[in-house]
Structure formats: C-alpha cells, structure tokens
Chain A
Amino acid sequence: MGNPLHQRDILSIKDLTLDSIQFILKTAQKLKQQAPKNLLQDKLIAHCFFEPSTRTRLSFETAALRLGAKSIGFSNDESLSTQKGETLSDTIRVISNYADLIVIRHPREGAARLAADASDKPVINAGDGANQHPTQALVDLFTIQECQHRLDGLSIALVGDLKYGRTIHSFAQACLLFDVRLYLVSPDELALPDTICDTLKKQGVRFSLHQSLEEVVPKVDILYMTRIQQERLGATEFQLVKNNYILTPSSLKKAKKNLKILHPLPRLSEIDLEVDHSPYAYYFTQAANGVPVRQALLNLILNEQLLS
C-alpha cells in the first residue's frame, strides 16, 4: 500500500477515511517507540498561530524539531501584516513559498480550508474557531487505542461543553468510523450541535443525552472531560450546573476497572486534582501523545516513503 497522505492537507476529520486514520495511528505507534532524528531533515515547517496555544503549538514544534525539521512561525498575529489589513489568503500564499508545510491555528471557522485553498503546500488545521481540531481527534483516538487496546466496542462519555468545543466536534465525527456507544453529558445550552447529532443518527451511532456525570460513570470505558467556560452560560446558570460536571474521586467509586479519563487540557476545576493520582487518569499521557501523532502526520505528509 502506498502512502495515501503524501502532500495531503489535514483540515477536517471528515476528510479522513478509516484506512488513513489507521495508517496514521500505526505510524504514530512506531514513532512513539523510536523516532529517527533525521526523518524530516531539510524540511521547513511554518507554525502559523493566529491565536494563543500551548500544547498544540509546542507539540507540533517538538514533533518537527525532534525529527530534524526546521521551524519558522509566530504565536499570535500582533506582529503580522494582517494587522495592516493584509488578507489571510495573501499571508498564507507568501508563507507557502517559504515553507514545505503550514500548520495553522486561527480564531475564525473555516480559516484552515481557506489557507489550504491559497497554499501550494500542504496545510494542517491546528484548530479553527469552534469548527475543527482534527489532529487532537487523532491524538484522542491514538490514546484510546493505547489504553483500551481497541477502538471498537467501547462506551465513551463526552462531558462538558459539547456545543463550542472543537475537539469534541472532531472527535464525535471520528466516532462515525468506529463501533462505539456515546453518552453525551452537558447542560442543555451546551449540547452537541444538531447537525452533528443528525449525522450520528444517520450513520447509526448509538448515543444518549444526559445532564449528570454520575449516572454515566459506571457505564463507560472512556470519560472524555472538557471545560465549561462560565461566559458560555452566565454566572447564575454556571453556579447551578457546574457541580454536575466536576469529577472527584468519590464520583469514580462505581467506575469500571478499565475506565480511563481523557481531557484535551487546559483543565480548570472540572477534574479534581486528587483524580490525577487515580489509575483512571490518562490526560497527561494523552497530552504527551500529541508529539508522536503529530510526528506521524508530518512524516506521512512530507515523506512519500513509509517507515519500515
């Protein structure tokens, strides 16, 4: 089998087939065991972050540098000509003449696809507003496979802000490709968008809606927590509902033995610090997995030849 990702853009999880996802996960597994230092020698990667990011930006840069690539870029748009009114298309067109691949994060939804349309070089979406964060979904899938040794036949709870969380949108769409049962736990105001629920229904993914974390904990293999931002709900509503979405050691008493907790981070109060010491906590390993998964993507996009 050839390399289906060579010179491809990674913009939305919807663009990826099951085969290509499995291909990425397999490559990431190899690179987690051993990452050759010269795999991306002579490659230059532009990290264009038009809004702040810690984990995604640093894990992309780490992935590139540890494989021997060079990195250029910026971590906010304050020093850019876009401040002078230059269009995003023009900015990206110029950068695509410098670099071999562009990684972009942007606050506007659809910015990554616009960048890909303007660029001659492959573009990876590192988050575009509340739309997509496909590489995080790949990190999540890799992490689940690592800790549960499978991706099919699992029960997964998605908890918190399911409306605005782009990691949740990408992950829920990735679930279309696997045999999973979803428990969607959120306040009504932050429920998963109807269009994604419609797609889940249409594709036959089983899911149910819940408003309390406790009722789903005993049923699931993966508890995917996300942060609820107070400004999404208003102060009063937030105070009323927030306790339903905070994970403490006592709320895990009825958990299955194999349960693992994931979180795209940063977390605020939704996971009690005590939970970090439980055997269920897996979110820091998940964050660490950002490097091999992004290494796999960079390698597959930039090198036609596959790892042996």
Chain B
Amino acid sequence: MTKTLAVAAIKNGTVIDHIRPGQALRIIHLLRLLKDKHRVTVGLNLPSKSMGLKDLIKVEKRLLSNDEANEVVIFAPEATINIVENFEVTQKKSTRLPVSIANVFACLNISCITHHEPIENLFYIEERGKQMRLTCHYCEKTFDRDQAKVKI
C-alpha cells in the first residue's frame, strides 16, 4: 500500500510538527501567518505515535527566525521546527522558551493600562510544571497560557 501524506509536502518553507492538538490555530495567529499571502497548510488532530494526536503547520516560502521558533515553544513545547529547501530538510531549529514576549498577547485584566494607552504589550514567561504562566509587565497580573488571547 502506498503511504500518503495527510498534509502535502512543501518545496521551500517551514514545517512545524508535533504541535499539541488544539494549538495550531493559535500559532497561526502568533506568527501572523494569515497576514502574508504565502500558502499555509494545516493539519489538525492528526494521528501521532508519540503524542496520540498532534497538529501540524506547513508554510510555503516563509523561513522562521530563531526568535519566532522560540515563540512557538510557548504553545507547543514539544514542537519540531524544520526549514525545508527544495523538498529537503536543511535545518532543524533548536528552540528554547523565551524569557518574555512583546506585542503578541492582550492582557486579560480589563483595568490594565495597556487597554487604555497605545503601547505594546509585554509578558514575562514562566514554566511551572506543565503550566505556562504569563505575567504582564505593566499590571503584574499572571495568567495561564491557555487563558491568554493572541492579539490579531
């Protein structure tokens, strides 16, 4: 039997694999993948030997920077990020959780000054066990990653 790919291969671009199921759409917002016109292929709830289920994103003609790859870790600590050139993986990105992240999340605290002034949001990131916590630079409130809203 011929093995077929659930999501088509790409010639040049980035493949983000082993994303925790349910996080792919948030990563698409995080990386602003809808803003440029490159082709984005998304697989949701794909079968995975190691994870049971996983999400996957392939982006044509877009090579993630190291900082962008690190930001993906906030949503998908187990993700593998590969750069593809001419259908070959030419680089496996090594990632680490960033200390802070600017202008991606909106603060959940409605009394926070960031909702009333034209300023960039800034959050400090802390991994506590399996939880990822975000603390607002301004109002000092802490939220779980899954509560935080990505600014669109």
Q: Write the residues of chain A forming the contact surface with B, with a CB cutoff of 8 angstroms.
A: 12, 14, 87-89, 106-111, 113-114, 128-132, 195
Contacts and interface: CB of A to CB of B under 8 A. Distances in A.
B113 A110 contact: yes
B36 interface: no
A109 B113 contact: yes
Nearest to A199: B142
A88 B113 contact: yes
Most B Cβ at <10 Å: residue of A130, A131, A195: A131
A113 B119 CA distance: 12
Contact of B111 (A14, A108, A113): A108
A114 B119 contact: yes
A124 to B, nearest CB: 16
A108 B142 CA distance: 16
Most A Cβ at <10 Å: residue of B114, B139, B141: B139
Contacts of B118: 87
Nearest to A129: B111
B109 interface: yes
Most B Cβ at <10 Å: residue of A110, A132, A195: A110
Interface residues of B, number: 16
Contacts of B142: 195
Interface in B104-145: 109, 111-114, 116-119, 136-142
Contacts of A87: 117-118
Given A110-B112, A114-B119, A195-B142, 19 more contacts: A87-B118, A106-B113, A108-B112, A108-B113, A109-B109, A109-B111, A109-B113, A109-B141, A110-B113, A110-B114, A110-B136, A111-B113, A111-B138, A113-B113, A114-B113, A128-B139, A129-B111, A131-B139, A131-B140
Contacts of A128: 113, 139
A14 B139 CA distance: 12
B138 A113 contact: yes
B46 to A, nearest CB: 35
A107 B116 CA distance: 11
Interface of B: 109, 111-114, 116-119, 136-142
Nearest to B137: A113
Nearest to B135: A195
A109 B119 contact: no
A27 B135 CA distance: 33
A12 B140 CA distance: 9
Nearest to B115: A108
Nearest to A109: B139
A12 B113 CA distance: 15
A195 B141 contact: yes
Nearest to A107: B111
Contacts of B114: 110
A128 B136 CA distance: 14
Given A12-B140, A110-B140, A89 B111 contact: no
Contacts of A88: 113, 117
Contacts of A106: 113
Contacts of B140: 12, 14, 109-110, 131-132
17 contacts: A14-B140, A87-B118, A88-B113, A106-B113, A108-B111, A109-B109, A109-B111, A109-B113, A109-B139, A110-B139, A113-B137, A114-B113, A114-B117, A114-B138, A128-B139, A131-B139, A195-B141
A89 B119 contact: yes
Contacts of B136: 110
Q: Which 5 A-B pairs have the closest CB atoms?
A: A110-B138, A109-B139, A110-B139, A110-B113, A108-B113
Contacts of B116: 108
Contacts of B119: 89, 114
A130 B111 contact: yes
A122 to B, nearest CB: 18
B97 to A, nearest CB: 19
Contacts of B117: 87-89, 114
B133 to A, nearest CB: 9
A195 B135 CA distance: 10
A199 to B, nearest CB: 9
Contacts of A108: 111-113, 116
Contacts of A132: 140
